[in-house]
């Protein structure tokens, strides 16, 4: 009997040793991403359908990949948004991640310096059909005729609406849908009516420690006026009536007390969920989060959440600011096994485009965007126009994230009264153009 126990014990040790050997035989690649950290909630989740929100879904996706891949293990490096300072530091140290998430607006900065691997041949070999890219996705990842990233989503600017407060303010139609302003005058009138009826501001605005909110909002208002402020990709033009119109409208809302004040991103997200205002101007990435919140009994958004593309306030165009997340392969001395594993992971993400689109982001595959499964997701019918109306800056414009921060700082100064609007716009233009004149 003792001999049998010893034999079984030895067999168990051999099995464990074999399993450990198999794990060690897997090729490890590093993947750098933002989207937050949520290991406490999703660290062990491999069923992606049970995950919600950006952090939850990307965490579950990578967990699933690691659990199912026979050849590859993904080591995740979570960075603070947007992560480009960290990425640049790693490139300079000679230890870049194998794969990194990257905004499409930033790709040119890296591809033009030979830091990214063109993906056309690798994606084709892995079974990714680039003909299935949406127009927005294709434009976002194609630079100088080459594909430099696998697109992951198209994200854009929305109005998240508290219908319960809109009803209280008398701003819903007979069908219970929000009545949206059609011009700046109607917007100011609605904001006044909303505050009188509810005692709350019309808007949640993200201003504190924020370098993107006003850029995205301001650009949207310029697009709607058909302003080609980057007609020349090497310089910006804000010395226009359209730019002054947009900044003046935003300043009026702020000065009238129609917005929250001094909130950073986390506070803004929580403030809207708490019912502190009627509209939160923010992106597609919060659709799933707030839809889940609207299903909670007794919550301020309970059975009262709507989301729409940023309303058209000028007669020129329905275009709205847009960008996209994508995945790039950094130029490095990858082994054949590492390169194979990198494309295996990219193919996995491609195959799970629908799961990522549950966040609220728009899919980058035509086949997914046209699928009944996607169209059945909440609010997608209301957001469908964004597949054609999302507008990105010309791909030839370099240093787009640095431009975003300069523009945001100066527009903020003009809106809050720290500078006169004309001075703020002039400073934004001169600072951006100086940056672009020295861009490499």
pLDDT (tens, 9 = 90+) of the chain, 440 residues, equals 445 445 444 554 554 444 444 456 899 999 999 999 999 999 999 999 999 999 999 999 999 999 999 999 999 999 998 899 999 999 999 999 999 999 999 999 999 999 999 999 999 999 999 999 998 899 999 998 999 999 999 999 999 999 999 999 999 999 999 999 999 999 999 999 999 999 999 999 999 999 899 999 999 999 999 999 999 999 999 999 999 999 999 999 999 999 999 999 999 999 999 999 999 999 999 999 999 999 999 999 999 999 999 999 999 999 999 999 999 999 999 999 999 999 999 999 999 999 999 999 999 999 999 999 999 999 998 998 898 899 999 888 999 999 999 999 999 999 999 999 999 999 999 999 999 999 87
pLDDT, position 2: 45
pLDDT of residue 439: 85
What is the widest separation between alpha-carbon atoms in the chain?
93
- Using DSSP's 3-state secondary structure scheme, residue 366 falls into helix
DSSP assigned state of 230: T
Q: How far is residue 22 from each of residues 18, 63, 118, 351, measured CA to CA in Å? A: 6, 18, 31, 25
Which residues, including other chains, have CB under 8 Å from residue 158's CB and lie 6 or more apart? 281, 282, 283, 284, 287, 307, 308, 309, 310, 383
Cα 73 from Cα 63, distance rounded (Å): 10
Residues 6 or more apart in contact with residue 271 via CB below 8 angstroms: 204, 260, 263, 277, 280
Q: Which residues contact 25 (CB under 8 A, 6 or more apart)?
A: none
Instruction: Tell me how far apart the alpha carbons of residues 13 and 140 are, in angstroms, rounded to a whole number.
Output: 52
| Cα 399 from Cα 432, distance rounded (Å) | 9
Note the pLDDT of residue 1: 44
Q: How many CA atoms lie within 13 A of 215 on its CB side?
A: 22
DSSP SS3 for 186: helix
Q: In 79-223, which ranges are E strands?
A: 99-103, 142-143, 146-147, 150-151, 155-162, 203-204
Nearest residue to 105 (alpha-carbon basis) of 143, 78, 158: 143
How many other C-beta atoms are found inside a 10 Å radius of the C-beta of residue 26? Answer: 16
CA distance 274 to 268: 10
Contact between 27 and 73 (Cβ < 8 Å): yes
pLDDT at res. 440: 72
pTM above 0.85, yes or no: yes
CA 279 to chain centre: 19
Taking a C-beta distance cutoff of 8 angstroms, is the pair 276, 218 a contact? Answer: no
């Amino acid at each position: 009997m003792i001999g049998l126990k010893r034999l079984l014990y030895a067999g168990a040790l051999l099995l464990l040793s074999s399993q450990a050997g198999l794990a060690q035989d897997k090729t490890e690649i590093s993947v750098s991403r933002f989207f937050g950290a949520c290991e406490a909630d999703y660290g062990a989740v491999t069923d992606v359908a049970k995950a919600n929100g950006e952090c939850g879904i990307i965490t579950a996706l990578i967990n699933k990949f690691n659990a199912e891949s026979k050849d590859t293990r993904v080591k995740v490096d979570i960075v603070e948004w947007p992560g480009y300072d960290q990425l640049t530091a790693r490139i300079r140290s000679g230890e870049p991640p194998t794969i990194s998430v990257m905004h499409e607006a930033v790709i040119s900065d890296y591809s033009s310096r030979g830091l990214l691997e063109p993906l056309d041949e690798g994606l084709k070999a892995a079974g990714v059909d680039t003909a299935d890219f949406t127009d927005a996705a294709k434009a976002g990842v194609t630079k100088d005729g080459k594909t430099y990233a696998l697109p992951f989503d198209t994200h854009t600017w929305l109005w998240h609406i508290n219908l319960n407060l809109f009803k209280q303010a008398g701003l819903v139609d007979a069908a219970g849908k929000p009545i949206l302003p059609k011009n700046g005058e109607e917007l100011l009138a609605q904001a006044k009516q909303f505050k009188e009826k509810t005692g709350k501001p019309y808007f949640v605005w993200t201003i504190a420690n924020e370098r993107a909110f006003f850029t995205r909002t301001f650009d949207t208002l310029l697009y709607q006026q058909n302003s080609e402020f980057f007609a020349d990709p090497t310089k910006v033009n804000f010395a226009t009536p359209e730019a002054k119109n947009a900044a003046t409208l935003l300043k009026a809302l702020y000065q009238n007390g129609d917005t929250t004040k001094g909130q950073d991103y986390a506070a803004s997200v929580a403030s809207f969920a708490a019912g502190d205002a009627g509209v939160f101007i923010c992106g597609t990435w919060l659709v799933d989060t707030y839809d889940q919140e609207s299903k909670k009994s007794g919550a301020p958004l309970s059975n009262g959440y709507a989301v729409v593309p940023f309303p058209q306030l000028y007669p020129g165009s329905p275009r709205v600011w847009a960008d996209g997340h994508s995945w790039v392969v950094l130029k490095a001395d990858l082994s054949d096994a590492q390169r194979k594993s990198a494309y295996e992971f990219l193919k996995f993400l491609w195959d799970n485009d629908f799961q990522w689109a549950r966040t609220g982001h728009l899919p980058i595959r035509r086949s997914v965007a046209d699928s009944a499964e996607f169209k059945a997701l909440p609010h997608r019918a209301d957001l469908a126009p964004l597949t054609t109306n999302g507008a990105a800056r010309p791909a030839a414009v370099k240093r787009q994230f640095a431009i975003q921060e300069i523009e945001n700082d100066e527009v903020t100064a003009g809106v809050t009264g720290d500078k006169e609007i004309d001075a703020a716009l002039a400073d934004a233009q001169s600072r951006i153009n100086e940056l672009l004149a020295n861009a490499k």
